[in-house]
Amino acid sequence: MSTDQDKLIAELVEKGLTGDMEPINSIEDRVLRSKAKAALAKAKRAAKSQETADPKKKKSEEKSSDDTPSSVNLNEKIGKMVKEKFPGSLANENTETYIQLKPDQWFEIATWLKSEPSLYFDSLQCQTGIDVGDNTLEARYNFHSMKHNHYTEIRIAVPRQEATIPSVEQIWRIADWFERETYDMLGIEFSGHRDLRRILLPDDWEGWPLRKDYQVQETYHGIVVPKIKEGWE
């Protein structure tokens, strides 16, 4: 193994130990990616052994972790932080179970959610959409911090006629296909997405199947589209 490769793997392991797995997962070279993951696993075992041998250090680290927001009141704390840092971005002051945001500053808030040390939401676990009625569509995001082991949910509602939300696929790469599926099913546009197109249906399909006002087209290129799902379940 070359010195440059050794140095790169060491840097990747250092980031992996903080919970940031994206640099490793984004390596295209499968051999190098496997070596980096093996080195990270070895480093984690060594760190665990050291913690077992030095219980005082482990206790000190557990105490310092108390400074991060707890899962019980995390959403409320994030809500207060967002209100102070991004005035006017909250769509709802009630942040007990989830955080409702306006779409305008979403990209900036998303960047902050990932980079803020006390939050460090490095994992977008799920992003989906829903037609909530009253002429409103909503995108929902579920985040997890591997470093702090805490979770939060963000919701962003937009009018059906102006269904546009800033994309976060350049912040969390996994959002690429998440946002494409939400676009495909509900027609929510994710501005700034570098490849926003349908992912399940053909590009020339008519309408958005998960909208409550969706009408199934009669035919597709001469093929009759069934409207009754009898026997499909």
- Amino acid at residue number 223: I
- Pair (179, 98) in one structural domain: yes
pLDDT, tens only, 111-170: 999 999 999 999 999 999 999 999 999 999 999 999 999 999 999 999 999 999 999 999
For 104-162, give the DSSP string. TTHHHHHHHHHH-TTT---EEEEEEEEEEETTEEEEEEEEEETTTTEEEEEEEEEEGGG
What is this structure's pTM? Answer: 0.69
Residues 6+ apart with CB under 8 A from 82: 89, 90, 99, 101, 109
Of 65, 84, 118, which residue is a domain's last? 65
The three-point CA angle 120-122-128 to 5° equals 120
pLDDT digits (tens, 9 = 90+) for 30-77: 888 888 888 888 888 888 887 777 666 555 555 444 444 454 589 999
**Which of 14, 34, 65 corresponds to the end of one domain?**
65
Instruction: Give yes or no: residues 176 and 206 share one domain.
Output: yes
- How far is 60 from 66, CA to CA, in rounded Å? 10
User: Is 232 a domain residue?
Assistant: no
Residue 148: which domain range? 74-224
Decide if 135 is inside a domain.
yes
